Structure 1
Amino acid sequence: MEISLYNKRLHYALILSFITIGYNLLEGIVSTFYGASDETLALFGFGLDSFVEVLSGIGIAHMIYRMKRNPVVERDSFEITALKVTGTALYILTAGLVIGAILAVINKSEPDTTLAGIIIAVLSILTMYFLYREKIKVGNQLDSKPIISDAKCTKTCFYLSFILLASSLLYELWQIPYVDALGSLGIAWYAWKEGREAFENARSKSLSRSSDCC
């Protein structure tokens, strides 16, 4: 591949990683605010997961920046630390969401409204679909397994948005009991899965292995 074209595509991949970080940061702030004020555990957990994705995104951006300077075959200490911190945060989030869901059922807690969750989920679905499509495209063009892996991580966020949308819609339209708690458990399952993959990737310095999340 022509060097100038390769660098342009790497630059675009770096821009996509910055967009991912910025969007997840904004999404995390808005989601946790409305999740707390409306007492919807699914939205609050979704927001916390967005903050964790910021940590993961920083590791990815760092890796792509290194790729722009020299060929990269292994993760460096910064990326490994970012993966370990991400994995730990996701495990803590999983435990918190499971405990929160159990307490919500015991105390018969229900959200005031899940309208914010519907709006945020729709925006997230559109944004994550765009990011996934573009990351897959540039990852294939560069034949880069790490960028393709990051795209798969974005696809997981895409699925999480559908869980939030489903639980929020069901409650807002029909006030189905405990559907918000059930939605938070769905987010917890994905958080646990992502956390496990983060630690697996941290143990393997090689970037040649393929996984669902970088």
Structure 2
Amino acid sequence: MKKEANGASPAVIRHAERVADLIVGTILILLAVYVVATSVYHLWTHAAADTSLAGLTISICSVVLMPVLMRQKKRLGLRLHAQALVEDGMCNLTCAYMAGTVLVGALLTALCGWWWVDSFFALILVYFIAHEGIESLQNAKK
């Protein structure tokens, strides 16, 4: 957006968007790998989700606020024809999914003693994280 405001050529703007897509895609793929490794480790060691008040509060705030932020970024990105901003908004949606997973996992652990549920849900979430990462990487190649 700054490049557009400074009068950069369409080629320079597209290059910047490709770099942003590459960075976002790479980060999401690395996040997916991390979530798989951490979840498998926690399942192996029977580690349970943290049920602290601070953790639950942050998760609730993220579940509520991240979709709002995603919609605003998507709307602005579409209006400015900035695909990188749209993709960044999708990262916020992924963050909301992750926060929801943490919240449900922590609550089920606290209420039912299901130590494994947080890691199980996180492994399901990997599909969405990886999908968004692959999509961003594909956008970077266009």
| TM-score bracket for the superposition, by shorter chain length | 0.7 to 0.9
Structure 2 equivalent of residue 168 of structure 1: 106
The counterpart of 2:42, out of the listed 86, 89, 104, is 104
| C-alpha distance in 2 between matches for 1:186 and 1:130 | 23
Show the counterpart of 2:126: 188
Alignment of 1:30-41 (within 5 A): none
**Structure 2 CA distance for partners of 1:203 and 1:102, relative to 1, 3 Å:** same
Sequence identity percentage: 27
> Do the aligned residues in 2 keep the contact of 1:115 with 1:172 (CA within 8 Å)?
no
Q: CA deviation at 1:128?
A: 1.5
Give the one of 120, 134, 142 matched to 2:58. Answer: 120
Residue in 2 that maps onto 1:65 = 2
User: Offset at 1:185?
Assistant: 1.5
Write out per-residue CA displacement over residues 93-116 of structure 1, whole angstroms, 9 at most, x where no aligned residue.
322321222222222222453543
RMSD: 2.8
Structure 1: tracts of 5 or more residues without a match = 1-63, 205-214
CA distance in 2: counterparts of 1:115 and 1:128, whole angstroms: 19
Is 1:154 equivalent to 2:92 in the alignment? Answer: yes
CA offsets, 1:14-49, max 9 Å, x none? Answer: xxxxxxxxxxxxxxxxxxxxxxxxxxxxxxxxxxxx
For 1:41, the equivalent position in structure 2 comes to none
Q: Distance in 1 between matches of 2:52 and 2:19?
A: 36
Counterpart-to-counterpart distance in 2, 1:84 and 1:137: 21
- Alpha-carbon distance between aligned partners in 1 of 2:132 and 2:48, rounded to the nearest angstrom: 27
Distance of aligned partners of 1:203 and 1:170 in 2 relative to their CA distance in 1, 3 Å threshold? same
Deviation at 1:178, TM superposition (A): 0.3
Note if contact 2:49-2:105 (Cα within 8 Å) is conserved in structure 1. Answer: no
Distance 2:90 2:64 in 1: 16
* Structure 2 spans left out of the alignment, 5+ residues: none
Taking the aligned partners of 1:96 and 1:149, their CA distance within structure 2 comes to: 20
Q: 1:88 aligns with which of 23, 26, 51?
A: 26
Question: Counterpart of 2:38 in structure 1: which amino acid?
Answer: G
Q: Distance in 2 between matches of 1:135 and 1:112?
A: 31
